[in-house]
A and B are shown apart, each in its own frame.
Chain A
């Protein structure tokens, strides 16, 4: 907190500092609003400059950058003084607006199976903390409650020209400031049809195009991928044959889905797809990754 403002109550200090900050910013007004107390303005600028340690810096741009950096910290300190940071992080987390490395990561015991695909927890953590690309999803018009909120993190491993390059794609469920890992896939670029600009969702869809099996949820149409769909379920079918998978060769498979039945008789599917694990294991094997049994 600034000495120059210590005589003011916090709300007033926030208002004064914000008004002072406006005088330092470029203004499109004919007559920018002047700060009413020139002596206080002088004290504030001196104190901020001292805190920014700019006396020996010659570059005016760096001086400005350092002073603004201290000013931003102070301004946010005053403005968030009575705010609950955990509540802010929960709101931002639910909306997918929290930066990736601020999320807490939860790895349920069930994801141990991923180690068999050559994916360790440390790989997953790195993909979430330092992703090459990330996408956060929620159903349109849906108030984020952490029930069916999805995120996808993609970490590219290798150079674009290398045929061994793959994307580690991690699928998670967001609950406030926590990311719960649902699954992860090593997706070799040479196995899928790459477009010039690939988002995590497009990479997953391209992967499902190659390794996915057709399925049907409830009375919905046959498909290989669902994201945020509402599908009618016939009465009495709520618990049996909810997902019918087309698997004529009886391959091993991994059904990945996050869905719930609502009281109106609909399946609210956040995501659903089914991977043919025999075909995928054979592809991984070609890339030198032996799927452990």
Chain B
């Protein structure tokens, strides 16, 4: 077992959508360290690249929001991801058509503030058995990354610096 905490950076809008439309059950892609850049250079954990490093994702999102960057790769990726998810959820009967429409409208017409990054801090032990290691082909680097698709609100804390 690795570190006792896991970290994941997510935009507020994603949190809100999962809270309101998915019964407060959250999906998170997480890492064992908040900032791989601060780890010893020869540890495998330091090899989580900026595109997967929670601290870098946080900094990128914050900068893009401050600059109101409408071409932000991270924000537009989130728009596509959340829109696709809503379509998928409706097709599989998890949400109604009205909910799908509401999500897609929110995703494509939010206040800038809704893209603000939140840091999820997840105690590892209670969720250990539900962690799925992201295979090398899905990772941007060789540091460990995990996904968890049924994270309850009581299983993580939110930090909004």
Contact = CB atoms under 8 A, between A and B. Distances in A.
Q: Is the interface of B mostly helix, strand, loop or mixed?
A: helix
Nearest to A77: B108
Given A28-B29, A76-B104, A92-B106, A18 B71 contact: no
B157 interface: no
Contacts of B84: 18, 21-22, 25, 75
A61 B105 contact: no
B156 to A, nearest CB: 18
B128 interface: no
B98 interface: yes
B137 A30 contact: yes
Given A28-B135, A68-B76, A79-B87, 7 more contacts: A21-B81, A29-B138, A64-B77, A72-B79, A75-B84, A79-B86, A97-B102
Q: Is the interface of A mostly helix, strand, loop or mixed?
A: helix
B147 A73 contact: no
A25 B29 CA distance: 13
B101 A83 contact: yes
Interface string A216-234: 0000000000000000000
Contact of A68 (B73, B137, B147): B73
A76 B132 contact: no
Given A30-B138, A32-B138, A92-B102, A65 B72 contact: yes
B147 A72 contact: no
A27 B135 CA distance: 10
A171 B132 CA distance: 46
Interface in B50-105: 69-77, 79-81, 83-84, 86-88, 91, 98, 100-102, 104-105
Contacts of B86: 79
A255 B88 CA distance: 50
